[in-house]
Structure 1
């Protein structure tokens, strides 16, 4: 192992140790699935997303890149909520290739992902990013790991994704690989998602007055491929940050324009 690689591993271990209870959690996440909410769970084997697996997320078009990051953040928030004492690793890819800005803490918090739990790393090269992901997965110390890499990257080939899948199984940790608006040419990802932005729900109103809130984020999400099940289904889904679940939009609103359960929460 090179001195540079050893330094990266030492830095990761030090950051993990700074989290209370952030030791090895392989026993908690080495098996099972994470329920996502309806209607996804009906289509996924076991009723949810496998924990110890590689899951790839891409967008339909370039303009959906922001929505894609939000979808990944929602998935990461679900895994993080299941292990509240464990950190979450987010490896930011080269912003030049994906042409996006940096992560925005309040935006992540709006999806239920606490920025204080994030360990952020920005490897200089794509091959370094893949190496960091693989080694971090083997540690088994993260609630989830997110990696950003251009789906057209030469380093992201069948061998690389196979190594990532094996590392996810070894460490019992989910890897959410965001490939931008291009999928990897060859991948062993257990699931592959293709998402596009959709108009959000109407902002809640009460007694004809706006509450100054924004509507729930929505996506058109397609499960392109799923190991052990038939892919190809597409759903319109929205994110309920309070319940940390995806759901099909509820079109039956009260006369005030706000969902009945949300009205009860507001006045209760």
Structure 2
């Protein structure tokens, strides 16, 4: 019996190749597959969430399912609609669960339901088995999955990429030098299957809430402003005297 006959009888199925992932920033984030975004330190949850929404918010259409573990909700609060510019008109279903395992299960069920175009899960921990199941489900159904994890997450998972996020000093405000400007983050990609050579690379990013765009910037200040030079201080004292 030849191959065509076997295929006609349903005895052979043609496997569909997974979609190609672009080997450039943000390295497939927002495309089918499992990705992880972790805090760099305690308190960087806002940076992780901001990076997630900025990097994929404008590219994913349709309904979102956002799974959140209760302990994280109590610690960080809710994500207000005002913090979702351009996204608030979309359907966003929030699911709250008590345990990390329940959150991972809910995320998988959301993927296979066929009702979601993006699944986000904020849980305290993940494991290789759960991440492998989410990877298979995401690839099979074409639904991107993003796990938002605390700073303590370590170890191997089946995720295609893992980002580590930290907040940075905001950009200068051109209207008021004493006011904050556009938010900035530092994103380090710790794991990247699409571009293994990018592993360990750090990106300094700026979000422009006027143009709704994310850009890579350079020359960010890493510490406090330098004090004035001694000569300048002496001239000021002479004039004051």
TM over 0.5: yes
Match of 1:20 in 2: none
Match of 1:245 in 2: 213
Verify: 1:114 aligned to 2:99, yes or no: no
1:204 positional shift: 3.1
For 1:154-233, list aligned pairs within 5 A. Answer: 156-205=126-175, 210=176, 215-229=181-195, 230=197, 231-233=199-201
Larger helix share, 1 or 2: 1
Q: Distance in 1 between matches of 2:184 and 2:173?
A: 13
1:95 positional shift: 2.6
Structure 1: runs of 5 or more not aligned:
1-29, 252-268
1:97 positional shift: 8.3
Q: 1:248 to 1:228 in 2, by over 3 A?
A: closer
Bigger Rg, structure 1 or 2: 2
Tell me, yes or no, if the aligned pair for 2:204 and 2:218 is still in contact at 8 Å: no
Verify: 1:134 aligned to 2:108, yes or no: yes
Question: TM-score, normalization: structure 1?
Answer: 0.66
What secondary structure, in the 3-state scheme, does the structure 2 residue paired with 1:175 have? strand
Q: 1:243 to 1:232 in 2, by over 3 A?
A: same
Q: How big is each residue's C-alpha offset from its partner over 1:181-233, in whole Å with a ceiling of 9 and x where there is no partner?
A: 1224331110100010011111232xxxx499852211111011100322110
For 1:1-268, list aligned pairs within 5 A. Answer: 31=19, 33=21, 40=25, 44=27, 48-49=28-29, 51-80=31-60, 83=61, 86-95=62-71, 99-109=75-85, 112-114=86-88, 116-151=90-125, 156-205=126-175, 210=176, 215-229=181-195, 230=197, 231-249=199-217
Structure 2: runs of 5 or more not aligned:
1-17, 220-241
1:126 positional shift: 2.1
1:100 positional shift: 1.3
Q: Distance in 2 between matches of 1:143 and 1:58?
A: 22
